Amino acid sequence: MKYSGIGGQAVIEGIMMRNGDRYSTAVRKPDKTIAVMEDKYESLAAKIPLFRLPFLRGIFAFVDSLVLGMKTLAYSASFFEDDEEVKPSKFEEKLIGIFGDKLDKVIMGVTMFISILASVAIFMVLPMLLSNIIKARIDNYYVIAIFEGIIRIAIFIFYIKMISRMEDIKRTFMYHGAEHKTIHCYEKDLPLTVANVQAQSRLHPRCGTNFLLIVMLVSIFVFAFLGWPNLWMRIVSRIVLLPLVAGISYEIIRLAGSSENAVVHTAIKPGLWLQYLTTRPPKDDMVEVAIASLKAVLPADDPALKEDMLLPNTDEHAAAAKDGAEATDKIERKAAEGGARRAG
């Protein structure tokens, strides 16, 4: 299977795909047609060569993904805004007067900052505070660091389980599954048809879910070397060292995505299992959106563009797609159960 380097994310009723400096966002509009927006994105690493160095590149790739993610999310949301004009409040008018046309970018920046701050507080600082529970009984920094890591992972899984109950999030997870299946299909050099895509696994080693889990695992080892200073030093250290943790985690994900080594693939298995929570089997019309988005970022001479993008919606095609998806999910479940038994 070839390594394409293509990545993406699910947005509102759609999917963003990125290939190098090109990205596209395909959205299933309320009228059931597919809107595709294509553009170029110059990453921080492309602008500053220093940011391409190992470990540094992971930090800035994470920043790029946040910026591009927010931008494409806003684009997809624009198709579902209320058409009825609402008069801006006095506060909104004041903001428009201050920032003018840049207001949307300012709001996006503030939203991103608050999101990062909340994530650090919930997934980094809170587990550290809760690990004080065993500090009175155990005076081993390594054991405390492991306990803190377990709490962090437990909070993350609980968070995912809770938001997955929301109907909109369920659909987003289905689009997430479509994204993975489509990239798998392309990397196997199969024609990009709905039936071929549906037959692929919805788990992918380069997934952001993998990255987040690896961040949590790497943080255990990094924070274990800090000892147990006063409270504020512990909080500051978690925040200051987060870029280092992200940089190390990115290199591991990069290796996992391009390596066929059995040891590497075994090491990332927990991240793959976690994707059962963040992805769901997609519907055929979601796969159509994923294919449209992927094709938009391929080079003009790519052989995949010469294949028919979509198959007719015949009963035979629908049955083939369903059988392929069910068979794949059954294999994935057995693999996960077997891995869980071995881990136990």
Listing DSSP states for 168-187 in one string gives HHHHHHHHHHHHHHHHHHHH
Domain regions of the chain by residue span: 7-82+89-297+307-343
Looking at 199-241, list the stretches that DSSP marks H as alpha helix, in order from N- to C-terminal side.
208-224, 231-240
* pLDDT at residue 225, rounded to an integer: 82
Give the amino acid at 202: R
3-class SS at 26?
A: strand
* pLDDT at residue 264, rounded to an integer: 73
Nearest to 207 by CA among 59, 63, 1, 8: 8
Query: Could you tell me how far CA 202 lies from the centroid of its own chain?
Result: 13
10-residue averages of pLDDT along the chain (344 residues) = 83 94 94 94 84 85 86 89 64 72 76 84 87 79 86 91 90 96 93 94 87 87 80 84 88 76 77 90 96 94 68 43 49 46 37
pLDDT in tens, 186-238: 999 999 999 999 999 999 888 888 888 888 888 888 888 887 777 788 888 88
Structural contact between residues 209 and 10, judged by C-beta atoms closer than 8 angstroms:
no
* pLDDT at residue 26, rounded to an integer: 96
Query: Could you tell me how far CA 22 lies from the centroid of its own chain?
Result: 18
* pLDDT at residue 317, rounded to an integer: 42
Neighbours of 181 (CB within 10 A): 30
Structural contact between residues 295 and 192, judged by C-beta atoms closer than 8 angstroms:
yes
Structural contact between residues 252 and 213, judged by C-beta atoms closer than 8 angstroms:
no
SS3 content of the chain, % helix, strand, coil (to 5): 70, 5, 25
Phi, psi of 197, rounded to the nearest 5 degrees: -65, -45
